Amino acid sequence: MSEAYVHGYEPHESERLQTQAGTLVDLLHRDTRYPPGSRVLEAGCGVGAQTVTLARQSPDAWFTSIDISAESVAAARRATDAAGLANVEFQQADLFALPFAPESFDHVFVCFVLEHLARPVEALAILRDLLKPGGTLTVIEGDHGSAYFHPDSAAAHQAIQAQAELQRCAGGNVLIGRQLHPLMVAAGLDRVQVSPRMVYVDGSRPDLIDGFTRKTFTAMIEGVRESAIAGGVIEADAFDAGIRALHRTAEDDGVFCYTFFKGVGQKR
Amino acid sequence: MSEAYVHGYEPHESERLQTQAGTLVDLLHRDTRYPPGSRVLEAGCGVGAQTVTLARQSPDAWFTSIDISAESVAAARRATDAAGLANVEFQQADLFALPFAPESFDHVFVCFVLEHLARPVEALAILRDLLKPGGTLTVIEGDHGSAYFHPDSAAAHQAIQAQAELQRCAGGNVLIGRQLHPLMVAAGLDRVQVSPRMVYVDGSRPDLIDGFTRKTFTAMIEGVRESAIAGGVIEADAFDAGIRALHRTAEDDGVFCYTFFKGVGQKR
């Protein structure tokens, strides 16, 4: 987590991440429940978008949620406080220099973190070492190459590519979702099972049009406008045409598809 | 169905289509069951890859399966005979000149047909007219834009694009899966519901590596080698590099993703 972060830290960005979590909670997290008394590390909690769901779904498990940004940790703490959750403690920490002894946790949870790391296998191996034998590591990541839509649009793909390029320059990888299985196996995890979680949005699903196509995916791409243009990754006109094309897919006769990947592996 | 057909009619191609149907039966067809006594039209049955499953899953429904190719109809008849099915009758017929009166059927089923048609909405409207009020139209299509994999490879995408280009020149559209909802709505169908059926293949799923990545998808692309090169759509070296890259995704640390779309709509 030493790399620069591509998504913003601004208030509206925090709102976007919360909206995203709200729309996707069931799809991504419904099958993550930890037993009473278990100790769970959430590595890279960000503003707590997933923390609230995790802690609420496993009220008798104990969560330690860390993030490299003290500001994010503070926002995450406010989010769990507002939700009345007492089973989470927070700590500012770097994933590559964690203040925990080996085998400190029963389970580890990582969501939307590997996409920002230049050394994802190393990060996974560090987290594996923190697990007790038999403990599980759960990883959730998106994959921008899984984004396709109707009407198809070269301009939209170019705008998405601009975001991907920024993230790549910061050491990240927006195509990481599809790679979870080989990455987790390479990190020495056992019994790795990956399941795709596809978001499919058409005119019959107005909640997802608004909550996912517009306020999650398109908003994420839109959020890098200034840095992409300033960084010379794309021209302003081309970027704006791409954003318009993404909004076009949110009309009644449009369709938008995106897939998240969830992997669970075990420490031997 | 007056357009040229892009997939081959050769014996090995027929085998490929049967293998594909075998691997995908549960994913695509598990929720298609027709009530006893209902009359069902299967439009574009090809070599009967889906017909056997359809007729077996609804043993007390009556199927009429048509295809524009007399040779395919003969192969489909052999397939249902071999399966001991007595609830299917076959007929050689053109979808755009069908010998049936309006409202002849309780349900209509179309699988991997629209992708070959220049006028898919017109075809759907013709099929809708054959339905009794309240009857359903079920449509299944793939979408080549949903194919992504690890390792990612520009060469592989180029080979896929060559197949797409051939199909486009023949009047077809390999990106039709994602468009099912708007197409079915445009054809005047009611209560249209589309569900994606994603095939996800990683090293832990050897059956799918063989049955889908190799023998279904890669074999389909490989099958157009001669016509793509002869048609000047791609150079032989580039095509072969793409095929090697697709086979690379079938290794233990590779991943392959593809999504089919299934739509069901009703006649008012």
Average pLDDT over residues B55-74: 97
Gap between the Cα atoms of A268 and A133, Å rounded: 5
Lowest mean pLDDT across A107-116, A127-136, B9-18, B40-49: B9-18
CB–CB contact B203 A181 (8 Å)? yes
Q: Which of B114, B202, B251 to mutate to test the interface with A (most CBs of A within 10 A)?
A: B202
pLDDT for B26: 86
Distance CA B25, CA B10 (A): 22
CB–CB of B198 and A254 under 8 A?
Answer: no
Predicted confidence at residue B161, as pLDDT, reads 97
- Give A143's contacts (C-beta < 8 A, 6+ positions apart): A174, A175, A176, A177, A178, A259, A260, A261, B148
Amino acid letter, A204? S
Work out the mean pLDDT of chain B and round it to a whole number: 93
Which residues of chain B does A194 touch, with a Cβ-Cβ cutoff of 8 Å?
200, 202, 204
The token pair at B258 is 């593809």
Only one residue has tokens 């006028």, namely: B119
Query: What pLDDT is stored for residue B5 in this prediction?
Result: 52
Average pLDDT, integer, range B28-46: 97
What is the Cα–Cα distance from B138 to B43, expressed in whole angstroms?
10
Measured between CA atoms, the residue of chain B closest to residue A143 is: B148
CA A43/CA B147 separation, integer angstroms: 31
Q: Check if B170 contacts A (Cβ < 8 Å).
A: no
Q: Which of A146, A192, A203 sits opposite B204 (nearest CB)?
A: A192
Give B-chain residues touching A114 at CB under 8 angstroms.
none
Residues of B in contact with A181 (CB under 8 A): 202-204, 255
Contact (Cβ atoms closer than 8 angstroms) between residue B162 and residue B228: yes
| pTM for the model | 0.92
Instruction: Tell me what pLDDT residue A26 has.
Output: 86
Closest by CA position to A49, among listed A31, A29, A68: A29
Question: Given this model, what pLDDT does residue B24 score?
Answer: 82
In angstroms, rounded to a whole number, what is the distance separating the alpha carbons of residues B6 and B3? Answer: 9
pLDDT in tens, chain A (268 residues): 333 455 545 555 655 555 555 568 889 999 999 999 999 999 999 999 999 999 999 999 999 999 999 999 999 999 999 999 999 999 999 999 999 999 999 999 999 999 999 999 999 999 999 999 999 999 999 999 999 999 999 999 999 999 999 999 999 999 999 999 999 999 999 999 999 999 999 999 999 999 999 999 999 999 999 999 999 999 999 999 999 999 999 999 999 999 999 999 999 9
Put simply, the answer to whether B148 touches A150 (Cβ < 8 Å) is no
Residue (of B224, B115, B230, B119) closest to B173 by Cα position: B115
| B148 touches B249 (CB < 8 A) | no
pLDDT of residue A119: 97
The whole-number average pLDDT for the span B62-71 is 97
Pairing of strands A255-266, A148-150: antiparallel
Q: How far apart are CA A133 and CA A267, in angstroms?
A: 5
Given a contact cutoff of 8 angstroms between Cβ atoms, the answer to whether A144 and A175 are in contact is yes
ipTM of the complex: 0.91
Question: Is A38 at the interface with chain B, CB within 8 A?
Answer: no
How high is the pLDDT of residue B193? 97
Residue of A nearest to B254 (CA): A182
- For residue B25, the distance in angstroms to the closest alpha carbon of chain A comes to 19
Percentage of chain B beyond pLDDT 90 is 90
Structure tokens at A138: 């759960």
Beta-carbon count within 10 A of B134 CB = 10
- The reply to whether omega before B133 is within 30° of 0 (cis) is no
